[in-house]
Amino acid sequence: MFRAFCILLLVLIPSFVCAQLTYQNLYVDYDSTWQYKNLKVIPIRWKGQGSAVNPLPGQTVTLSQALQSGTARVSERGTASTENVHWLIVENLSNKNIFIPGGDIIAGGRQDRMISQDTIMLARESRMQVPVMCVEEGRWSDKEKKFAYQKQANTHLRKVLDRSKNQVLIWRQIFNELEKDQVKANTFSYLARSQDKKFTALEKEYWDFFQPRFSNSDSTIVGVVCMSGDKVIGCDIFAATNLFYGQLQPMMYGYIDEAIVHGSAPVIAEAKIRGYMDGLLKDEPSQEAFIKANGKAYRHNGKIIHITTY
């Protein structure tokens, strides 16, 4: 009896815990396409009964959730810009894992920063140095302000981050965006648009449309593919439903900003979207090649936690 149970357990574990993020376990729900102004969104769902199981031990929250609930704290590593601009300290004040997504914007400190790469901070780790990039050229203040979580960067900036990890190219991308829209600010900050009431009202308008679509949905969504104009602007897929919903608002604000700043009314043909998703989800070998050319995959202990493509 015990032997039979162990065999059954071994059969079940790969399908739930080690399941790959391909068509074997996922489907793109083209029947649930949502569109508002410049942004079209299609949910990616987990097949079968229930939702995807988090492959990490214990409970996991995202950095945005942890900071907003007060169960995490971010601070500068030191006072000298030359040694500390590319690092922040994250403290975990809970007994939960924290998923820290690349592209997340943290405002304050001595300078606004963007998380450089996906990272898992396990519950047993109380303090971690996290790599970051500056997204506010022109400020390194003597006095450290309190850090506050903002949102995820748009896909143009995330793409520059992931492909180059180059501070100068990140500053150049921010400068080009602000110059294009004639945004005036004291520093060349990615968040300068947040001072524009019309822009923030438009962001909220988009979010108010999309948010209830996700809230009223079932618990099978683990990702989205987003379109603007005649192209796919990005796709994010997570290993578990709770990770997806934990990152939903900051992630969607990144896509909303992309659609507002760089996008236009969606005219992309469904066949083009299907071709893109086939390249990403067909099987593991083709997925690996597609991600290498078009994005990144974050793995923890050999298991994919998050896929991002552009």
Summarize pLDDT for 28-66 with one digit per residue, the tens.
999 999 999 999 999 999 996 655 667 788 899 999 999
Strand, coil or helix: what is 253?
A: helix
Token look-up 């400068």 returns 175
Query: Is the pLDDT reported for residue 10 higher than 60?
Result: no
Q: Provide the pLDDT for residue 140.
A: 81
Residue 138: predicted pLDDT? 78
User: Which amino acid is located at 260 in the chain?
Assistant: I
DSSP classification of residue 171 = H
CA dist., res. 30 & res. 125, Å (int) = 40
Residues in the chain: 310
Residue 18 has pLDDT above 50, yes or no: no
pLDDT at residue 5, rounded to an integer = 32
Residue 209, judged by CB atoms within 10 A of its CB (0-12, 13-18, 19+), counts as: middle
Average pLDDT, the chain: 90
Q: Within a 10 A sphere around the Cβ of 216, how many other Cβ atoms?
A: 7
Which pLDDT score is estimated for 3? 40
For residue 53, what pLDDT is reported? 67
239: which 2 tokens?
């290993």
Query: How does pLDDT run across 68-82, given as a tens digit for each residue?
Result: 999 999 999 988 888
Q: Quick check: 277 pLDDT over 70?
A: yes
Q: In the structure, how many helices (H) and strands (E) does the chain have?
A: 9, 18
- pLDDT tens per residue across span 104-135: 999 999 999 999 999 999 999 999 999 999 99
Exposure class string for 17-46: b at 16+ Cβ within 10 A, else e: eebbbbbebbebeeeebeebbbbbbbbbbb
Percent of the chain with pLDDT over 90: 79
